[in-house]
Chain A
Amino acid sequence: MSEIALLEWVRGPGFQIATIILVVGVIIRIFEILMLGRKSNLAEAKGSEFASGMRTIVTRSVPTAESFKRSSLTIVAGYVFHFGLFVTIFLYAPHILLIKGVTGLAWPALPTPVVDIVAVVSIIALLVVLVHRFNNKVLRYLTTSGDLFAWFVTIAPLVTGYIAFHRIGMSGPALLAVHILSVELLMVVLPFTKLAHAFTIFMARWYNGAISGYRGVQS
């Protein structure tokens, strides 16, 4: 297969397959969670589920002083690469074109050099969390091969995107094909790994808050 044929495949059928797996995987998993159902709580409600749930989405997204002190590196690097992923995925002009092509929705892009810097910072942050994972005894003990795989599929699109933009090491079609392929890998594994938190995190936080709200305790 020539490089250009590979590119055409990843832009066409490859992307289609990845989209189907992502959409089907995420929806089935969400349905599974939502339809699991809970035993009805016979105790009288002592507060609002909704308000407490919404509040918890915010409060659990901001670290407390104590937990920040305990694992400041993980929190800072974590925030940096999550913010970086958001910027590189949603605020880079060619990506907005893709989203517009698929959904019809568009918004202004950040200047390319800004996205470029953010991508580099995100890659560094992801490397820092990996090094920290191996340097910290407890983290190393808890690490599974699934964690390393999730790390790999997250950093791969950033690295391949960076070298595709700067055209390092391979021909134009190969660079773009490898980048798109790495994104397709991420799309395919996302619903079935811990990366599914992209869709479940706020749901889970709301639910934690809602339980406390019902009991009338602080979440």
Chain B
Amino acid sequence: MASQSDKEKTLGDVLRSHGVSRRSFMKYCATTASMMALSPAMIPMIAEALEKAKKPSVIWLSFQECTGCTESLTRAGASTIENLIFDSISLDYHHTLQAAAGHGAEAAREEAMREHHGKYLLVVDGSIPMDNPGYSTIAGISNYDMLMEAAAGAAAIIAVGTCATYGGLPKANPNPTGAVSVGDLIKDKPIINVPGCPPIPVVITGVLTHFLTFGNLPELDDLGRPMAFYGQSIHDRCYRRPFYDKGLFAETFDDEGAKKGWCLYKLGCKGPTTYNACATTKWNNGTSFPIEAGHPCLGCSEPEFWDGGGFYKALSIPTADIGETALYAAAGAAAVGVALGAMNRSKKGSAAKAHEKVTLEDLEK
């Protein structure tokens, strides 16, 4: 955890002490501005704001999660400026990363909450169990209580990963723990959703940079995701898109189409309905992203992606078992049809029986 003298340093001081040159710092500011679709005129503003920014206090809470989000951020790659920005925040509480444990750790969280009340950033990964609080506790405190207490004094909340943003894997059918997302519980604080399983590291630092520069949240979409990173679908930015447009698909993972790099739609790619920056930002220091590695997009930055009908089922295939439904429906309908037919026939029969012929006497009446 950061020492007191560290906390007084500005971000500029920290970056300089890590040997980051002015040129690479400005390059980072320019990249961030373009990535977040800001005007180039904003670059000096971003640089100035970052230079002067005091290390913000960040409290990171991990609930029902797999630590993949933390792994994604801390193992993002070599010492990039993104990492340094992440490293130079004052991460006052993160029970996976901090050295302190037990009461010491909880004391650090309480101190940060008191000292920076109303100013700290709260980062949450993992969903919150609402069924039995005992499903997930930290130092004997239920996830719900800890979230509510920490959220009360937060300036803003960043929900990291699909579990925190939508409930994720813990919420998957049949949702045994009654898992909910951060946004389901907290309505009175600004929340930025950064979904993904895990999310892209640079998205976190991008959001932090925006917060440090402008002191507010970036523009969000209707699912609370920063538009700059989640504004375009994987499909619309996919380098395999021309194959989709031509109707050239890989049928299996090792056929000729797969070797030629054709579209993975038939193998279950969820790119057309998934909004994330994978296709542009890429992973592992810009090396590649899943589709580039030959695997369809799972749609991990969208709600309920675990229950979307199967990772390898194409988007056009219904998620329910329609064949079986149709068979039962047909059998039932045939029985009803026979019954209706029989009823019609008996009606016709009785009508014929009841039919009286007109006699001469009738006509003379």
Chain A residues engaging chain B, CB cutoff 8 angstroms: 2-5, 7-8, 11-13, 15-16, 19-20, 23-28, 30-32, 34-37, 93-95, 97-98, 101-104, 109-113, 115, 167, 171-173, 176
Contacts and interface: CB of A to CB of B under 8 A. Distances in A.
B316 A98 contact: yes
Given A31-B333, A167-B235, 17 more contacts: A4-B304, A12-B309, A15-B319, A16-B325, A27-B337, A34-B341, A35-B340, A93-B247, A95-B316, A97-B314, A97-B317, A109-B247, A112-B244, A167-B236, A172-B233, A172-B273, A176-B315
The 9 A-B residue pairs with the shortest CB-CB distance in the complex, in nearest-first order = A31-B337, A35-B341, A112-B247, A94-B316, A27-B333, A101-B317, A24-B333, A23-B329, A15-B318
A215 to B, nearest CB: 24
A115 B247 CA distance: 10
A24 B304 contact: no
A169 to B, nearest CB: 13
Contacts of B325: 16, 19-20
B245 interface: yes
Contacts of B275: 171-172
Contacts of B60: none
B222 interface: yes
A190 B316 CA distance: 21
B308 A8 contact: yes
Nearest to A32: B340
Contacts of A115: 247
27 contacts: A2-B223, A2-B303, A4-B273, A4-B304, A8-B307, A11-B315, A12-B318, A20-B329, A23-B333, A24-B333, A27-B333, A31-B338, A35-B340, A35-B344, A35-B345, A93-B247, A94-B316, A97-B314, A98-B317, A101-B313, A102-B322, A112-B244, A112-B247, A167-B233, A171-B233, A172-B274, A176-B272
A53 B336 CA distance: 28
B247 A7 contact: no
B330 interface: yes
B256 to A, nearest CB: 15
A94 B329 contact: no
A101 B303 contact: no
A113 B246 contact: yes
A52 to B, nearest CB: 26
B334 interface: yes
Contact of A7 (B246, B273, B334, B348): B273
A36 B272 contact: no
A98 to B, nearest CB: 5
Contacts of A16: 318, 320, 322, 325
Given A23-B330, A98-B316, A31 B340 contact: yes
Nearest to B348: A37
A159 B326 CA distance: 27
Contacts of B120: none
B337 A19 contact: no
A48 B275 CA distance: 63
B329 A19 contact: yes
B174 interface: no
A5 to B, nearest CB: 7
B340 to A, nearest CB: 6
A5 B223 CA distance: 12
Contacts of A94: 265, 314-316
A28 B302 CA distance: 41
| Interface hub of A102, A111, A171 (most chain B Cβ within 10 A) | A102
| Interface hub of A24, A101, A110, A172 (most chain B Cβ within 10 A) | A172
A5 B314 contact: no
A178 to B, nearest CB: 12
A175 to B, nearest CB: 8
B365 to A, nearest CB: 30
B337 A173 contact: no
Given A12-B309, A24-B333, A97 B316 contact: yes
Contacts of B63: none
Contacts of B249: 93
A173 B301 CA distance: 13
Contacts of A34: 341
B322 A15 contact: yes
B319 A11 contact: yes
Nearest to B328: A20
B323 interface: yes
A5 B304 contact: yes
A79 B273 CA distance: 35
